[in-house]
Amino acid sequence: MKIHHFLALSSLCFVVCLSGCTTVNSVENANKEGQRNMVTDQRAVTDASLNRKVSIVGVNTALTPGGLLRVQVELQNRTRSLQRFMYRFEWFDANGMQVNNVISAQLPDQIEGKENKMISSIAPNPNCRDFRVKFIEAN
C-alpha cells in the first residue's frame, strides 16, 4: 500500500516538474494599438549560407512625421548558436535610381540562437521611395 502511494506521489511530482520546465513568462499588451504593415517582397536579399541559418520573417514600412521612409526587418535565427552577419540598406528614388549616401555602408550585427530580432533604417532624404536590404554572413 505504501509503495502505491509512493509511486503515485512520485509520478505526480515528476509531471509537475516536467510541466514547470515548459512554461514561458512573456508579457504583451492586450490592446495592441500599433499594427504592423508587413510587406512580402523580394527587397530583402541574403546569401545562401546565411539564409539556411537566419530567415527574414517580414518587412515593415512606415513614413516618419518628416516624410522619410522607415523600414524595419524582422529576422529569426533558426539555429541554436550565435550568428554574425553584415547588412546594408540601399535607397532608391521614385525613378528607381539608387541614392548614394554614406549611411549605406555595411553594418556588422549578430543574432543569438533561436532569437527574433528587428533591424531598421530611415531613408537619408525624402526623395527615397524604395529600398533594398542585403545580408551577408560575417566571417
Q: What are the sequence ranges of the domains in the chain?
A: 37-137
Full 3-state SS string of 83-126: EEEEEEEEEEECCCCEECCHHHCCEEEEECCCCEEEEEEECCCC
DSSP 16: H
Share of the chain above pLDDT 70, in %: 68
What does the CA dihedral 23, 27, 31, 36 come to, rounded to 10 degrees? -100
pLDDT, residue 91, reads 94
Residue with cell string 543574432: 111
> Tens digits of per-residue pLDDT, 57-103?
999 999 999 999 999 999 999 999 999 999 999 999 999 999 987 66
What residue ranges in 12-53 does DSSP mark as E strands? 38-39, 44-46
Write out pLDDT tens, residues 97-124.
999 876 678 999 999 999 999 999 999 9
Architecture field, domain 37-137: Sandwich (2.60)
- CA 87 to chain CA mean position, Å: 13
Q: What is the pLDDT of residues 19-51, one digit of tens each?
A: 555 444 445 556 656 666 665 567 888 899 999
Residues 79, 100: contact at Cβ < 8 Å? no
